């Protein structure tokens, strides 16, 4: 039993660290780890992952908010969309066959890999659109010299629409859907890349929390699994949040893509072979 707990903690620490520095959320890595390595049922892994994603967000967000990387106004506006999608997804997860969940997870891994490869640079907008300006969503981010740089936001409705999909995938698959969240803020709304990652880390906890409540009410959360996973993910996320501001995230893309593609292949094979 002790060996199993140590293995779960080790898996969770790695998942939390990678999830925090990539903005993808630890659930992207902990679900396949529990299913493939620990041989747990998909729905048990999803329930435990949702709890761990809340822990990831809590661990990473403290440092990000303190250091000014998180845009709290953008997060609050977009959470209205993601929580709606998460609750719907969590209800559907109770009736959707496991094979469908595994195929969806494989598809999300491929989407995450594609996004990781095609992330754009930090181009700062100096003029926002009328809705974003009305909601006062602009912010400031420190540059390499520690000076604050002002940035604006655009296309809030389009970003919100993608957030509904992100919430749906979070509730269905037990992930933070960080890739979709960062894509909405980075590609569509044009927030700086590190602001998008930090804000995503803040948001995934709220999104996953909404889905976790549905899983808890349905009795689909195994506390003996969720507890060590949550502790490990929190530790990894805290470490990742301290590393992110000081590294070039682009240097890690190749590693992320390889891992994501391997996970997609394994989950897809499991679904199609009926394992």
Helices (H), the chain: 2-22, 27-32, 42-66, 72-93, 98-118, 130-134, 156-173, 178-183, 193-218, 223-243, 253-273
Higher pLDDT, 176 or 149: 149
**pLDDT reported for residue 145:** 66
Q: Comparing 85-94, 108-117, 120-129, 224-233, which segment has the lowest mean pLDDT?
A: 120-129
pLDDT at position 250, please? 59
How large is the average pLDDT for residues 193-206? 80
* Across 107-131, average pLDDT: 71
Burial (CB count <10 Å: 0-12, 13-18, 19+), residue 219: exposed
The domain limits of the chain are 2-124+156-273
pLDDT of residue 249: 55
Residue 135 has pLDDT above 60, yes or no: yes
Average pLDDT over residues 82-98: 84
Q: What is the pLDDT of residues 205-219, one digit of tens each?
A: 787 777 778 877 777
Cβ–Cβ under 8 Å, residues 133 and 125: no
End-to-end CA distance of the chain: 25
**Mean pLDDT score, 96-100:** 79
Considering only CA atoms, which of 237, 231, 247, 214 is closest in space to residue 15? 237
**Mean pLDDT, range 250-267, rounded to an integer:** 70
pLDDT score for 146: 65
Q: How many CB atoms are closer than 10 A to CB 79?
A: 19
229-243: b or e for each residue (b if 16 or more CB lie within 10 Å)? Answer: bbbbbbbbbbbbbee
211-256 residue pLDDT tens: 778 877 777 777 777 777 778 877 877 777 677 667 665 566 666 6
Q: How many residues belong to the chain? A: 275
Q: What angle, rounded to 10 degrees, do the helices at 42-66 and 193-218 form? A: 140
- Is 151's pLDDT higher than 80? yes
Are 117 and 253 in contact by the 8 Å Cβ rule? The answer is: yes
For 27-82, how does the pLDDT look when each residue is reduced to its tens digit (9 = 90+)?
A: 667 777 777 777 777 777 777 878 777 766 766 677 777 777 788 888 888 988 88
pLDDT of residue 176: 64
pLDDT at 26 over 70: no
Instruction: Tell me what the mean pLDDT of segment 164-171 comes to.
Output: 84
SS3 of residue 139 by DSSP:
strand
């Amino acid at each position: 039993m002790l060996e199993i707990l140590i293995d779960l903690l080790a898996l969770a620490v790695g998942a939390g660290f990678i999830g925090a520095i990539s903005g993808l959320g630890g659930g992207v890595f902990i679900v396949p780890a529990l299913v493939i390595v620990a041989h747990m049922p998909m729905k048990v892994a999803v329930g435990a992952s949702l709890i761990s994603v809340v822990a990831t967000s809590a661990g990473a967000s403290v440092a990000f908010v303190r250091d000014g990387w998180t845009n709290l106004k953008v997060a609050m506006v977009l959470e209205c969309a993601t929580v709606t999608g998460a609750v719907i997804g969590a209800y559907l997860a109770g009736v959707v066959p496991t094979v469908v969940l595994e195929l969806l997870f494989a598809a999300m891994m491929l989407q995450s890999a594609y996004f990781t490869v095609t992330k754009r640079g930090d181009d700062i907008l100096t003029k926002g659109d009328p809705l974003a300006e009305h909601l006062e969503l602009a912010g400031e981010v420190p540059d390499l010299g520690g000076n604050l740089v002002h940035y604006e936001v655009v296309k809030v409705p389009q970003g919100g629409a993608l957030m509904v999909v992100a919430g749906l995938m979070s509730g269905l698959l037990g992930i933070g859907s960080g890739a979709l969240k960062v894509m909405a803020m980075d590609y569509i709304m044009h927030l700086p890349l590190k602001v998008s990652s930090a804000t995503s880390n803040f948001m995934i906890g709220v999104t996953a929390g909404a889905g976790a409540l549905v899983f808890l009410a349905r009795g689909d959360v195994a506390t003996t699994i969720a507890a060590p996973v949550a502790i490990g993910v929190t530790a990894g996320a805290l470490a990742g949040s301290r590393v992110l501001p000081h590294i070039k995230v682009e240097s890690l893309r190749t590693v992320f893509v390889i891992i994501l593609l391997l996970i997609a292949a394994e989950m897809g094979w499991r679904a199609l072979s009926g394992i």
